[in-house]
Amino acid sequence: SAVISQKPSRDICQRGTSLTIQCQVDSQVTMMFWYRQQPGQSLTLIATANQGSEATYESGFVIDKFPISRPNLTFSTLTVSNLSPEDSSIYLCSVGSGTGSNEQYFGPGTRLTVT
Amino acid sequence: AQKVTQAQTEISVVEKEDVTLDCVYETRDTTYYLFWYKQPPSGELGFLIRRNSFDEQNEISGRYSWNFQKSTSSFNFTITASQVVDSAVYFCALSEAGSNYKLTFGKGTLLTVNP
């Protein structure tokens, strides 16, 4: 399985600012995903980020709020813009296994607190 | 539309007890994949198992076993002789074959194993 790292691991930000989260994979992967996990809740897919194309956002998530970059096959960033306390969550990136089984491996997550 | 239900929000057991975590899913596809993930207090989401819809064989891995029954749309997870280190939130997830890897998670079950 791929080894995935995320930076930062946690951050405390003031409302109105933005945070950019980096996701690095130790091998080339086609499909990368960004999830949000609000406190005590399950994971919700924000968007799918494929290299060379625009990210595909799920219902309820928009590019202006969650811009994503995918400059190459091992790296992606998610920015959470114009932060509000409701954005306090764990943000996780994941990658597809490439085996055709829809299996995904997850990074360690970024814990964001907005004050 | 795909849906995963984990009816048990929290379970508390004493060490060495066996415990079963329930997962019921809904899908219209005939080809799909089911997963279990473990999220310990550290927050990192760890992959446990994948099952495809054509393989109903039960699986055992050490103290862990999984019972997949298409007739009841269930994919239950049993931990035998539980240990304190098993304390975590466990998520069941579903992905339809044509969904571009999209994972739908259940709300998770918080398992606490007391010494």
Among A43, A92, A106, pick the best mutation site for testing chain B contact (most B Cβ within 10 A). Answer: A43
Residue A30 — pLDDT band, cuts 50, 70, 90? Answer: confident
Task: Spell out the SS3 assignment of chain B.
Answer: CCEEECCCCEEEEECCCCEEECCEEECCCCCEEEEEEEECCCCCCEEEEEEECCCCCCEEECCEEEEEEHHHCEEEEEECCCCHHHCEEEEEEEEECCCCCCCEECCCEEEEEEC
Residue A62 — pLDDT band, cuts 50, 70, 90? Answer: very high
Residues of chain B neighbouring A44 (CB-CB closer than 8 A): 105
- Reduced to 3 states, what is the DSSP secondary structure of residue A85? helix
Q: B106 Cβ partners below 8 Å, 6+ apart?
A: A42, B4, B5, B6, B23, B91, B92, B93
Residues of chain B neighbouring A42 (CB-CB closer than 8 A): 91, 105-108
What is the pLDDT at residue B42? 84
Distance (Å, whole) CA A27 – CA B89 = 28
Please tell me the distance in Å from B38's CA to the nearest CA on chain A: 11
Per-residue DSSP letter, A82: S
What is the pLDDT at residue A85? 96
Residues composing chain A: 115
- B13: how many CB neighbours lie within 10 A of its CB? 16
- The beta strands (E) that lie in chain A are given as 4-7, 10-13, 19-25, 31-37, 43-50, 56-57, 68-72, 75-80, 89-96, 104-106, 110-114
What is the pLDDT at residue B35? 94
What is the pLDDT at residue A46? 96
* Residue B103: alpha-carbon gap to chain centroid: 13
Q: pLDDT by residue (tens digit) across B9-34?
A: 999 999 999 999 999 999 999 999 99
Q: Which residues pair with A105 in a beta bridge?
A: A95
Please tell me the distance in Å from B46's CA to the nearest CA on chain A: 7
Residue B103 touches chain A, beta carbons under 8 Å? yes
pLDDT at B44 over 80: yes
Residue of A nearest to B107 (CA): A42
What is the pLDDT at residue A100? 67
Q: Average the pLDDT over A19-34 and give the result.
A: 94
Residue A106 — pLDDT band, cuts 50, 70, 90? Answer: very high
What is the pLDDT at residue A75? 95
Please tell me the distance in Å from B76's CA to the nearest CA on chain A: 18
Residues of chain A neighbouring B35 (CB-CB closer than 8 A): 103
Q: A59 Cβ partners below 8 Å, 6+ apart?
A: none
Distance (Å, whole) CA A107 – CA B61 = 24
Residue A43 touches chain B, beta carbons under 8 Å? yes
pLDDT at A82 over 70: yes
Residue A24 touches chain B, beta carbons under 8 Å? no
Tell if the CB–CB gap between B106 and A42 is shorter than 8 Å. Answer: yes
Residues of chain A neighbouring B33 (CB-CB closer than 8 A): 101-103
Residues composing chain B: 115
Residues of chain A neighbouring B102 (CB-CB closer than 8 A): 45, 48
Residue A50 — pLDDT band, cuts 50, 70, 90? Answer: confident
What is the pLDDT at residue A59? 93
